[in-house]
Each structure stands twice: as C-alpha cells, then as structure tokens.
C-alpha cells in the first residue's frame, strides 16, 4: 500500500470517528453539500518561531479536499457548522489531501 493511500485511509478514519457533518457552500451559489469535518470553535496552537502557546477563538475546520465539490476560495467559500455560517478566511493544505480552513463567523444559519 502506498504512503498516499495510507494517509488517505487514516484521514478518513479520523473524520469518521472525530468529525461532524458540516455544510460546505460552493462559490457558484449551488446547493450546499454535507461533508465530514473536524470543527473547532476555539483552539490553542504552538507558535513554531517562539515556542509560545497561542490561544485563539477563531474557528477552524479540517476537511478532506476530495470531499468538496471544488477547491475552497478564501473570502468566497463558506461553511455552516453547529448552526452558524462562516466564510473561509484562509486555506492551509497539508500536502496529504486535507486542508485546514480558518473561518470567520458570518451569523446564525437558522
């Protein structure tokens, strides 16, 4: 089994066990698509330059790019998670088929 297929299998397992369903809203205005993602509304990260812990309330969402109908675009693509709609602020691909989407709250989706 190739390294790529092993990574894809592990990613799908993590999403299945730890993820939740979110709606991805395509940039063309088409119908939203349900995808599995790991969503975090607040998080801690390690600044690799200083070694300091950085606390943030900016929401993040890990997605498998192959599950999306298109590649996300910063400032245009949107995600609805836990009843709140977010615009994709930044996309950080991991080189293994997943991407970390930094999100910005737009408002309640109800």
Q: Which two tokens stand for residue 94?
A: 């991991």
Q: 3-state class of 78 per DSSP?
A: strand
Q: Domain map of the chain by residue range?
A: 3-108
pLDDT on residue 88: 96
Q: Which residues of 41-74 are buried (b: 16+ CB within 10 A; e: fewer)?
A: eeeeeeeeeeeeeeeeebbbbbbbeebbeeebee
CATH number of 3-108: 2.40.10
Q: Which residues contact 35 (CB under 8 A, 6 or more apart)?
A: 21, 22, 23, 24, 63, 64, 67, 68
What is this structure's pTM?
Answer: 0.79
- Dihedral sign computed on CA atoms, order 62, 63, 64, 70: negative
Q: What is the pLDDT along the chain (110 residues), one digit of tens a residue?
A: 566 677 778 888 888 888 999 999 999 888 999 999 999 986 666 666 777 766 667 899 999 999 999 999 999 999 999 999 999 999 999 888 899 999 999 865 55
pLDDT on residue 36: 95
Q: Which residues contact 99 (CB under 8 A, 6 or more apart)?
A: 62, 63, 65, 72, 91, 92, 93
Q: Across the chain, how many H-helices and E-strands are there?
A: 1, 8
pLDDT on residue 41: 85
pLDDT on residue 4: 61
């Amino acid at each position: 089994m190739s390294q790529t297929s092993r990574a894809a299998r592990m990613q799908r397992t993590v999403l299945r066990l730890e993820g939740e369903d979110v709606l991805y809203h395509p940039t063309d205005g088409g119908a939203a698509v349900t995808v599995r993602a790991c969503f975090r509304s607040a998080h801690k990260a390690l600044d690799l330059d200083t070694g300091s812990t950085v606390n943030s309330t900016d929401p993040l969402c890990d997605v498998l790019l192959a599950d999306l109908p298109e590649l996300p675009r910063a400032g245009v693509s949107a995600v609805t998670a836990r009843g709140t709609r977010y615009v994709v602020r930044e996309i950080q691909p991991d080189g293994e088929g997943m991407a970390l989407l930094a999100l910005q709250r737009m408002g309640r989706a109800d």
